């Protein structure tokens, strides 16, 4: 069960019009590609995708999952929006409520185990060892956990274990974390345990219907067997504009921590078939990722271009992420910015350049999708452009 209904409100303008899992990442990918590819590469053939917030782009992108080889005769990808029944219906309140409203869906397939993952994370993970360990330990729940920086620990669900890796304490976003072992929001449940827990949680009016806040502490109190699975590779939740920017930029390192360039365990995406990118007679490109269908006539340094981006003559793009089908006009200058999809930056614009006196060079400039920035306009550094001008 793939939770993909999140808004990602801390991503501001980037997720104003699309759900966070549909946000572009690393040039040609969308964030949900990582979860879906992990499923496909782990031989998981039935995936329910729970959607809620502005799902149009996401739904049409996922389709029937054929881009991830998840279209098969039994199972396949199912998009599960909130729905009504004879007693009415409700929005998905929390992560647990999203799953409990779809108990019928899971019953239909009647699995032995249910893997719950999030569509918000960027990582390459084979779920098979996780599920094998879950079966071997006879656990009721296995939570995939990763060691995080102590400073960051209070952002996560923090786990304390005994020396057999059995969980003795689980605290969601603690102010004084006692460990730096963080839950990745990836859970394997034995299905009957999950079903019972969801029904109990549903009947508790005080509950927020959230796995981390309610369901897992409740199961722990009931003395159920909760174990962790230790994950040591790259995993990141791009919750904020800064972390989104940083995770993207890490792909430009000579040895990027996220191994998208290795042919093993491929990350699939639903790409349109575009021609190779073209570089003009005066193009200069340095330390950048360029996708198919781009046209680069100007200069692109330390940047990521998604498919179909146009960079005009004499334009300069530095330290920036340009999302798909955006057009950067001639002589425009973009620095440390994230430019949304289908946006047009007309000629001679400046985005993210410090103007001196009142705007010290700071932060990342975001321009939301489907915007037009008119000829010669100046968007100052760190200014989060609000509306089309």
Partner 1 sequence: MNRTIGIIFGNRRSNFLQGIDKNRPLAVVPFGGRYRLLDFALSSMVNSGIRTVGIITPSHYRPILNQLGAGKEWMLDRKSGGLFILPGINQGIAGWESLFLLKDLAKNIEYLENDFSEYVVLCGCNQIFNIDYNEAIVFHELSMADVTFIYKDIEKEGQKSLTGTYLKMLADGKVCGFMTDEEIFELAGLLPVFIDMVIINRKLLMEIVAGYESIENIGLLDVLIENKQVLSIFGFPYKGYFARIESVSDYFQCNMDLLNLDVRKELFWGTNRVYTKIRDNPPTRYSGKTLVRNSLVASGCNIMGVLENSIISRSVQIADNTQIKNSIIMKKCDIGKGVILENVIMDKYVIIKEGTVLKGQEQAPIVVNKSAVV
List residues binding partner 1 (CB under 8 A): 26-28, 66, 252, 254, 260-261, 266-269, 271-292, 296, 301, 304-305
How far is Cα 12 from Cα 365, in angstroms, rounded to an integer? Answer: 11
Closest CA to 53 of 96, 89, 88, 23: 23
What 8-state DSSP symbol labels residue 211? I
Residue closer to partner 1, measured from CB, 53 or 68 = 68
Compute how many other C-beta atoms are within 10 angstroms of the C-beta atom of residue 184. 23
Please state the φ and ψ torsions of residue 250, each to the nearest 5 degrees.
Answer: -65, -20
Q: Min. distance of Cβ 222 from partner 1 in angstroms?
A: 44
* Three state DSSP letters for 307-334: CCCEECCCCEEECCEECCCCEECCCCEE
- Complex with partner 1: residue 132 or 266, whichever CB lies closer: 266
Interatomic CA distance for residues 209 and 213, integer angstroms: 8
Contact 21, 30 (CB under 8 A): yes
Q: How far is the CB of 59 from partner 1 (least distance, A)?
A: 20
CB of 375 to partner 1, least distance (A): 23
Whole-number Å distance between alpha carbons of 131 and 229:
9
Residue nearer to partner 1 on the CB measure, 94 or 298 = 298
Ramachandran area for residue 370 (φ above 0: left; ψ -120 to 50: alpha; else beta)? left
| Identity of the residue, 175 or 254, whose beta carbon is nearer to partner 1 in the bound complex | 254
Residue 105: half-sphere exposure toward Cβ, Cα within 13 Å: 21
Q: Which is nearer to partner 1, 112 or 286 (CB)?
A: 286
Q: How far is the CB of 125 from partner 1 (least distance, A)?
A: 18
- Looking at beta carbons only, is 122 or 143 nearer to partner 1? 122
We find the least distance from the C-beta atom of residue 32 to partner 1, in angstroms, to be 15
For residue 34, the minimal CB distance to partner 1 (Å) is 12
């Amino acid at each position: 069960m793939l939770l993909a209904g999140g808004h990602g409100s801390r991503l501001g303008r980037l997720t104003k019009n699309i759900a966070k899992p549909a946000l572009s990442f690393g040039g040609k990918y969308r964030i949900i590609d990582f979860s879906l590819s992990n499923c496909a590469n782990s031989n998981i053939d039935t995936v329910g995708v729970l959607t809620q917030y502005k799902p149009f782009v996401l739904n049409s992108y996922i389709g029937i999952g054929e881009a991830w080889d998840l279209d098969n005769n039994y199972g396949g990808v199912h998009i599960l929006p909130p729905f009504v029944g004879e007693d009415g219906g409700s929005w998905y309140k929390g992560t647990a409520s999203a799953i409990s409203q779809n108990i019928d869906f899971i019953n239909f397939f009647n699995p032995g185990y249910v893997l719950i993952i999030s569509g918000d994370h960027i990582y390459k993970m084979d779920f098979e060892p996780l599920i094998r360990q879950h079966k071997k330990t006879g656990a009721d729940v296995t939570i995939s956990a990763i060691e995080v920086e102590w400073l960051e620990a209070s952002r996560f669900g923090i786990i304390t274990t005994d020396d057999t890796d059995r969980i003795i304490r689980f605290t969601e976003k603690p102010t004084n974390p006692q460990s730096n072992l963080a839950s990745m929001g990836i859970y394997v449940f034995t299905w009957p345990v999950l079903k019972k827990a969801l029904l109990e949680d549903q009947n508790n009016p005080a509950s927020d219907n959230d796995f981390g806040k309610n369901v897992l502490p409740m199961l722990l109190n009931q003395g159920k067997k909760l174990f962790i699975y230790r994950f040591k590779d790259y995993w990141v939740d791009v919750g904020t504009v800064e972390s989104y920017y940083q995770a993207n930029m890490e792909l430009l390192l000579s040895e990027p921590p996220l191994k998208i360039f290795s042919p093993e365990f491929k990350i699939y995406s639903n790409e349109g078939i575009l021609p190779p990118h073209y570089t003009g007679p005066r193009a200069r490109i340095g330390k950048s990722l360029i996708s198919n269908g781009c046209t680069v006539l100007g200069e692109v340094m330390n940047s990521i271009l998604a498919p179909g981006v146009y960079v005009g003559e004499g334009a300069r793009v530095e330290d920036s992420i340009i999302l798909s089908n955006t057009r950067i006009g001639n002589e425009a200058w973009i620095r440390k910015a994230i430019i949304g999809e289908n946006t047009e930056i007309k000629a001679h614009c400046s985005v993210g350049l410090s103007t001196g006196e009142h705007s010290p060079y700071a932060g990342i400039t975001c321009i939301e999708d489907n915007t037009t920035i008119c000829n010669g306009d100046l968007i100052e550094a760190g200014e989060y452009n609000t509306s089309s001008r």
